[in-house]
Amino acid sequence: MADEALIVVDLQIDFCPGGALPVEGGDDIVPLVNGMVQSFEHVILTQDWHPPHHSSFASSHDGRAPFEEIEMPYGTQTLWPDHCIQGSGGAAFHPNFNRARAELIIRKGFRRSIDSYSAFFENDHATPTGLAGYLRERGISSLTLVGLATDFCVAYSALDAVSQGFAATVRLDACRGIDIGGSVSTMLGKMKAAGVTLG
């Protein structure tokens, strides 16, 4: 359908087993996502794309460890291991991911002082990536989201999609989560309450 798009979130080496911030089973979804890519007229990718010493890295904060939380000017921020650094091998898409049909790549997290989980907004929930405008200009109103990780970049993208007036479906079989302190269950609840279809 011309008004539907598949959004593949952060299917990158650093989020797969062996990467800097591995999601358990992250590479298991690659064959399924490759199949889905063939059945959508529009395919859009997101790519985490951090400069070195990004403010979301635990290494940028003395005495802090990965997965701790700190308060930033834009709100609570989880600290991460250094990952998806611009131009690094870990920032590359998974080598078995067939992305030839992708018409747009949204790079996020490239501003040093603010993280970006969502495909639509930075973590201040105010600075847009431009994706919403692109989708509207192309006449796309229905989105299916897959990728990594269920409870962070996929969930925040789906919530923002709904808030921007798009119909959003998350294909859970084509996602994998990090699950920090029950975050998968929490975010599934938030998505369902917001009107995201969980498939």
pTM of the model: 0.96
What string of pLDDT tens digits covers the 199 residues of the chain?
789 999 999 999 999 999 999 999 999 999 999 999 999 999 999 999 999 999 999 999 999 999 999 999 999 999 999 999 999 999 999 999 999 999 999 999 999 999 999 999 999 999 999 999 999 999 999 999 999 999 999 999 999 999 999 999 999 999 999 999 999 999 999 999 999 999 9
CA distance 179 to 187: 10
Determine whether 175 is an active site residue. Answer: no
Q: What are the backbone dihedrals phi and psi of residue 6, each rounded to the nearest 5 degrees, phi first?
A: -100, 125
> 8: exposed, middle or buried (C-beta count within 10 Å: 0-12, 13-18, 19+)?
buried
Catalytic site residue 151? no
Out of 48, 82, 84, 153, pick the active-site residue: 153
Nearest to 113 by CA among 65, 63, 74, 160: 74
Q: Which residue is catalytic, options 14, 27, 82, 108?
A: 108
CB of 14 within 8 A of CB of 151? Answer: no
